[in-house]
Amino acid sequence: MLLNASGCLDALTAPEVVRQLDVFVTKTITPLPRQGNEPVRVAETDHGMLNSIGLANPGRERFLSEVLPRLRELGMPLWVSVGGFAADDYAETCAFLSDVTVELNLSCPNVEDATGTAIEIVAACRAVTDLPLYAKLSPAVWDVGEAARAVEAAGADGLSLVNTIRGLALDAGLRPVLGRAVGGYSGPALKPIALAAVFAAHRGTSLPIVGMGGVRSGRDVLELVAAGASAVALGTVLFSDPDAPARVRSEVEAELASLGVASLDDARGLSHEARAGVTTLD
């Protein structure tokens, strides 16, 4: 299953790209509208991209009344990314949603930290909705397996791994490029970090995992699945290659054929079989 990473694709301006995916994931929605962070908000680096968008969005009321009905016209499964600054913010938004999967953005690196832990937020949302809840975790935590087990115990139905990680770029005058200085780093350099997180989470829990981070090719998809992902999201690549979903699907088939593996389902977790007996990522 192929998805887009939240915030990397606008379905209403590029529906032809969205229809190449199996699922569309919205930008993160917060209770109140947000203008986002001061510019500069996006900067390229040698090996990826920094962004400091700051969860710019129209707010929950407009999303529910204007945006979500238009997204439903796409006729495909929808995941709504939910954010906030306290557990109640997340839970209140979840209570308004129906017929979607919820991705809880628990780890955005370019806004103020939410009050409360991921466990508290997941538990608050679980208390108000029966919708599937996927917890999007940060790659910055040392023990991803432990974090995965904790949110599973709190009521999460799945994991999204990983969000961007904090990064900084300086201009020729040695000043921060981004208006907010530090932003979320994504792109090819994030892939080994994502693989390590998915690998650890797969060993720590039986939850389904959406792997993301640095995915550019069918080989990248296959590696995340081999590490334990049951689905994969495309992120930064969509900015430069809107045909990436179709290309990646074709490349996945070629990779599977070259390895003599029948399907992605058969490839899931293969890296664990190859490393049987490994107990740490040291």
SS3 of residue 39 by DSSP: coil
Mean per-residue pLDDT over the chain, rounded: 93
- At 111 the pLDDT is 54
Residue 154 Cα to chain centre, angstroms: 19
- For the ranges 6-15, 26-35, 62-71, 114-123, the lowest mean pLDDT is seen at 114-123
Q: At residue 282, does pLDDT exceed 80?
A: no
Indicate the helix (H) or strand (E) that contains 148: helix 144-154
Nearest to 131 by CA among 154, 90, 98: 98
- At 280 the pLDDT is 47
Q: What is the pLDDT of residues 211-237, one digit of tens each?
A: 999 999 999 999 999 999 999 999 999
In angstroms, what CA-CA distances link 4 with 36, 212, 255? 21, 9, 21
Q: What is the pLDDT of residues 57-76, one digit of tens each?
A: 999 999 999 999 999 999 99
DSSP single-letter state for residue 66: I
Exposure b/e, 72-85, CB count within 10 A at least 16 = b? eeeeeebbbbbbbb
Q: How far apart (Å, rounded) are the C-alpha atoms in residues 120 and 88?
A: 10
Structure tokens at 132: 């599937």
- At 117 the pLDDT is 86
pLDDT (average), residues 160-185: 96
DSSP single-letter state for residue 212: E
- At 11 the pLDDT is 96
Catalytic annotation present for 108: yes
Nearest to 114 by CA among 133, 137, 131, 147: 137
C-alpha gyration radius of the chain: 18
Q: What is the pLDDT of residues 244-281, one digit of tens each?
A: 999 999 999 999 999 999 999 999 999 998 666 554 44
Cβ distance 211 to 186 under 8 Å? no
Sign (positive or negative) of CA dihedral 101, 186, 211, 19 = positive
- At 139 the pLDDT is 87
